[in-house]
């Protein structure tokens, strides 16, 4: 069977060399070449690709980010990264991005043949096994992650009840990613023998059988993958394994609900990064809402958040609380999706007897049903059209780490400075010109006042108009003499008008001075 290889590179030399090498390999069809992440999304949406080869230098060095996006959105398509040098650092960066391996340039026929054959075998094997065990072929489920602003806000309880509402219409898996302290199994009175940690060793080749071995059945057709019974084993759950587990679950279930706990670590970050919908659980008090704001800001710095903003589930609300739901977004910076009331004895009894899923809690069920309905849009959104914005940001992008991450940050900052410098200089020049014009306008007021005083003195001693104008012009600096207007004297005063020398259309400046007439001078003007 012919393998379909997709090459992602905007370097003509790389494309030419890789194409020539692939043409020499048996079983590999004509490679499809695209030059951007947007075109990659469109090609992958067709569902005909077995292996993606991403150039690390794509779009100025974003190849690892593109490989990560490809792996997140299409986890069953093997991704290999084309690197300039096959170093341990490059391999580690590729594995962190979710790629299967790296391929060094210039291409080697032997290396390309072995790596691509292995990648194709893995991709088709995993897809075949998942198709055999999953009832929704070719579709991916939606991942909803709940994270606590801090401990004790009811994250686990709301995760469990939200899974119950989703399970009414979808096949649903509940995952306890709070690996060091989570106890979702306790809500169902389940003795944990195998947990999410047991999937770490086989995370890179997960099958439906492996997932089934760690899954426990809860009421309402909920499948639970619990946290380990002993919290110290939670350290075995790695970032890359978390990503692979979540992506495998997408192909097994229509809805995957994750309890991320409240501890910000690599596992939580990957859980949130892999989610299609993130809900922050908080209570109506200042410590919880401030913690929610800090969490939101931390996710922004880590570039974990997707295109949609975070939403909040405000738990344990009560009319007697000083902080009401309308105030919560102002303190946390996160809009409130739903408010859930504080329940007393009924909830306590259900939790103490591990019967939360069977208990009748309509006060909590109604708002959670609204949340469940909001997740009804399929996770696999329509791909961007080939003519769409080429530089559109990926749906979920994470900051590269290590030396490569620092180098990319420096390059981006340098490019940003180069791009922004002309704009900043232009704005600074405009501001300076405006300030100078305002200064000239103020100086014009002073000159106009002095000119009006001189005109008043001239008329007061009986000078004719032309003599008064000559005296006034002597008192006005050259640039202001071009447009001087002196009004005819009245019984009380005279007005002098000057125009500010400026390319701008500044208003004229007028000043009026009182005339103190000398005896007989006023009669010479026909006044009085």
CATH, residue 36? 3.40.50.2300
The span from the CA of 173 to the CA of 167, in Å, is 8
> What phi-psi label fits residue 357: left (phi over 0), alpha (psi between -120 and 50 degrees) or beta?
alpha
370 located within any domain:
yes
473 located within any domain:
yes
Q: What are phi and psi of 354, to 5 degrees?
A: 55, 40
Domain that holds residue 509: 412-525
Q: Do 282 and 247 reside in the same domain of the chain? A: yes
The confidence score (pLDDT) of residue 291 equals: 95
pLDDT under 50 in the chain at which residues?
A: 135-138, 377-408, 526-528
388 located within any domain:
no
The confidence score (pLDDT) of residue 522 equals: 64
Q: Do 9 and 114 reside in the same domain of the chain? A: yes
Q: What is the domain-level CATH number for residue 280?
A: 3.40.50.300
The confidence score (pLDDT) of residue 390 equals: 40
CB 280 within 8 A of CB 166: no
Q: Do 444 and 303 reside in the same domain of the chain? A: no
The span from the CA of 462 to the CA of 527, in Å, is 12
Q: Do 338 and 453 reside in the same domain of the chain? A: no
CB 237 within 8 A of CB 225: no
Q: Do 174 and 295 reside in the same domain of the chain? A: yes
The span from the CA of 280 to the CA of 292, in Å, is 7
The confidence score (pLDDT) of residue 356 equals: 92
CA dihedral of residues 91, 94, 98, 102 (deg, nearest 10): -70
Which residues have C-beta within 8 Å of that of residue 518, sequence separation ≥ 6?
A: 460, 461, 462
- Examine the fold and report which residue of 133, 167, 184 is the final residue of a domain before the chain moves on: 133
Q: Do 124 and 225 reside in the same domain of the chain? A: no
396 located within any domain:
no
The confidence score (pLDDT) of residue 378 equals: 44
* Cα 341–Cα 343–Cα 348 angle in degrees, nearest 5: 150
- Examine the fold and report which residue of 374, 396, 431 is the final residue of a domain before the chain moves on: 374
* Partners of 216 in beta bridges: 224
Q: Do 117 and 164 reside in the same domain of the chain? A: no
The confidence score (pLDDT) of residue 455 equals: 79
Separation in Å, CA 475 to CA 170, 263, 288, 470: 89, 76, 70, 9
Distance of CA 322 to the CA centre of its chain: 32
The span from the CA of 456 to the CA of 413, in Å, is 63
**Number of structural domains found in the chain:** 3
Other beta carbons within 10 angstroms of residue 57's beta carbon come to: 17
């Amino acid at each position: 069977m012919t393998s379909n290889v997709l090459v992602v590179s905007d370097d003509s030399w790389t494309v030419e060399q890789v194409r020539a090498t692939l043409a020499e390999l048996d079983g590999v069809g004509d490679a499809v070449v695209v030059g951007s992440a947007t075109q990659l999304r469109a090609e992958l949406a067709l569902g005909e690709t077995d292996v993606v080869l991403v150039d690390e230098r794509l779009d100025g060095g974003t190849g690892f980010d593109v490989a990560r996006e490809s792996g997140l959105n299409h986890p069953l398509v093997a991704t290999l990264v084309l690197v300039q040098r096959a170093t341990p650092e490059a391999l580690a960066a590729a594995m962190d991005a979710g790629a299967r391996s790296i391929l060094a340039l210039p291409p080697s026929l032997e290396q390309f043949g072995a790596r691509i054959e292995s990648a194709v075998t893995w991709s088709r094997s995993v897809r075949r096994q998942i198709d055999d065990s999953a009832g929704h072929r070719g579709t991916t489920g939606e991942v909803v992650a709940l994270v606590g602003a801090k401990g004790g806000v009811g994250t686990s309880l709301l995760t469990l009840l939200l899974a119950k509402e989703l399970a009414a219409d979808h096949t649903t898996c509940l995952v306890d990613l709070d690996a060091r302290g989570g106890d979702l199994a306790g809500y169902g009175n389940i003795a944990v023998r195998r947990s999410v940690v047991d999937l770490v060793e086989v995370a890179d080749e997960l099958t439906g059988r492996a997932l089934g071995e760690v899954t426990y059945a809860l009421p309402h057709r909920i499948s639970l993958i619990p946290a380990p019974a002993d919290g110290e084993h939670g350290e075995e759950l790695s970032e890359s394994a978390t990503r692979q587990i979540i992506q495998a679950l997408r192909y097994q279930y229509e809805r995957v609900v994750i309890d991320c706990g409240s501890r910000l670590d690599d596992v939580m970050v990957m859980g949130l990064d892999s989610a299609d919908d993130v809900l922050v659980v908080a209570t109506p008090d200042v410590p919880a809402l401030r913690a929610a704001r800090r969490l939101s800001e931390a996710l922004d710095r880590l570039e974990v958040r997707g295109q949609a903003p975070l939403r909040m589930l405000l738990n344990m609300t009560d009319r007697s609380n000083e902080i009401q739901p309308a105030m919560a977004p102002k303190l946390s910076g996160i809009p409130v999706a739903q408010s859930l009331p504080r329940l007393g004895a009924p909830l306590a009894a259900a939790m103490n007897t591990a019967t939360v899923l069977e208990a009748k809690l309509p006060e909590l069920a109604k708002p959670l049903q609204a949340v469940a309905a909001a997740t009804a849009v399929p996770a696999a959104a329509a791909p961007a059209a080939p003519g769409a914005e080429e530089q559109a940001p990926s749906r979920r992008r994470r900051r590269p780490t290590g030396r490569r991450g620092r180098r990319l940050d420096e390059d981006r900052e340098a490019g940003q400075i180069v791009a922004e410098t002309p704009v900043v200089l232009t704005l600074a020049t405009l501001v300076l010109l405006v300030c100078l014009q305002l200064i000239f306008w103020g100086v014009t007021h002073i000159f106009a006042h002095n000119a009006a005083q001189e005109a008043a003195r001239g008329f007061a001693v009986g000078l004719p108009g032309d003599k008064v104008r000559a005296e006034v012009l002597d008192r006005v600096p050259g640039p202001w003499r071009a447009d001087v207007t002196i009004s005819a004297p009245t019984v009380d005063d005279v007005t002098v008008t000057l125009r500010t020398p400026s390319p701008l259309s500044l208003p004229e400046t007028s000043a009026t001075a009182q005339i103190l007439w000398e005896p007989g001078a006023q009669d010479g003007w026909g006044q009085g």
